[in-house]
Amino acid sequence: MSLISRSRLVITILTIGLIAGQSILYWIKEKHEADAAYWKSVRKRIKEGGYSNTTCPYNPASLAWEPLLNKNINLTIEEIEKVHNNVRSGGWTPPCKPRHDLILIVPATRREEHLRVFLWHIHAFLQQQLIQYVIYVVTQVEPTNIFNKAMTMNAAFIEATKMYPYSCVIFHDVDLIPESNNWPYTCETPVAHLAAYVDRLHYSLPYKNAFGGVVAFQKDEFKKVNGYSNSFWGWGGEDDDLGGRVRKHSLDIVRPTRTQLSYTMLRHARDPSNKVNIGSYHVIRDPDDGLKTIKYTKLDLKLHRLYTQLLVSFESPKVNLTFESLEQSNHMLEKKEPK
């Protein structure tokens, strides 16, 4: 083959590659615009924060800081953004090379007031720990009008771990605010139940196997237990069921002491879409029901300054599960419960 022929072949290959690359970029832009924008913001945030050559300390001196709790933050989300103006798309990178990274998943459906209070506190709390983190809020949208916290958590885990190659995931109720900063939000142990001491629960476990409020998982361990069961419609049961899955896989659950970490619970009225369903405790669930089987629709991904928000919807449960049927089921079960 002559030199000219070889040159033409190389030019042809490069041209095809350029066209293919442009096509891929066009496909990403058109089909996954939200995700592409998300990753662009991530790269920008990391570039702006940068890393020094110094690794962050194991125990930052700032951990001695005591959060100033304020349950009645009377600020708009825009005013809170001005205070935490170093946050991008819900994430932050410390000026040193971080030892830990974190995805903080927060279910928040019709909880805007609590979310403002939570964001006000949690960004300062995490930055004191010099952790690279992102706050990932998940909101359930219609068509079904019955809340399923477990499915929102599973969906958020799947979507967030696609976007961030982080190894630690904490599932965090929006109405729980840390009272001290003596326990880092990291995953040095495979599983941890962080919210063992809550003011409204008299700073004690309500029962031995309680496992809710704030729980931390190494990413692979959450996959191992197959996440939450998707069968919990209405309020109650999903957290303790997850704890049962953890114990079934012989994973130790670590809890901080009260002096290390405790929480204030924000007061709120019960969401009408989230009625108590004690019947959930009496259902025998398939261990394959969870991350492996969840079906959801990703409606949108919104990049707010203080958090990234995933909007999802689920099909209505196959059984005829209405508020009335929940109440009837609960009434029957209460009659059967031993006094």
Q: Residue 33's pLDDT band (boundaries 50, 70, 90)?
A: low
Average pLDDT over residues 101-123: 94
For residue 287, what pLDDT is reported? 77
- Tens of pLDDT along 198-230? 999 999 998 999 999 999 999 999 999 999 999
Nearest alpha carbon to residue 169 among 78, 97, 105, 91: 105
For residue 188, what pLDDT is reported? 94
Average pLDDT over residues 160-171: 96
Q: Which residue has the tokens 């900063």?
A: 181
Q: What percent of the chain has pLDDT over 90?
A: 57
How far apart are alpha carbons 42 and 46 in whole angstroms?
A: 6
For residue 329, what pLDDT is reported? 41
Q: Is the dihedral of CA 71, 74, 78, 79 positive or negative?
A: negative
- Among the ranges given (19-23, 248-252, 281-285), the one the predictor scored with the smallest mean pLDDT: 19-23
Gyration radius of the chain's alpha carbons? 23
Average pLDDT over residues 141-163: 91
Written as one letter, the residue type at 123 is H
For residue 312, what pLDDT is reported? 97
- Among the ranges given (109-118, 248-257, 270-279), the one the predictor scored with the smallest mean pLDDT: 270-279
Alpha carbon distances (Å) from 74 to 124, 205, 271, 291, 307: 17, 32, 22, 38, 19
For residue 256, what pLDDT is reported? 96
- Tens of pLDDT along 286-298? 778 999 999 999 9
For residue 324, what pLDDT is reported? 45
Q: Residue 163's pLDDT band (boundaries 50, 70, 90)?
A: very high
Containing 127, the helix (H) or strand (E) segment is helix 112-128
For residue 186, what pLDDT is reported? 96
Q: Residue 24's pLDDT band (boundaries 50, 70, 90)?
A: very low
- Cite the active site residues: 173, 175, 235, 238-239, 265, 268, 270
Q: Residue 237's pLDDT band (boundaries 50, 70, 90)?
A: confident
Is it the case that residue 42 has pLDDT exceeding 60?
Answer: no
CATH number of 56-336: 3.90.550.10
Q: Which two tokens stand for residue 26?
A: 């066009």
Q: Residue 150's pLDDT band (boundaries 50, 70, 90)?
A: very high
How far apart are alpha carbons 131 and 184 in whole angstroms?
A: 9
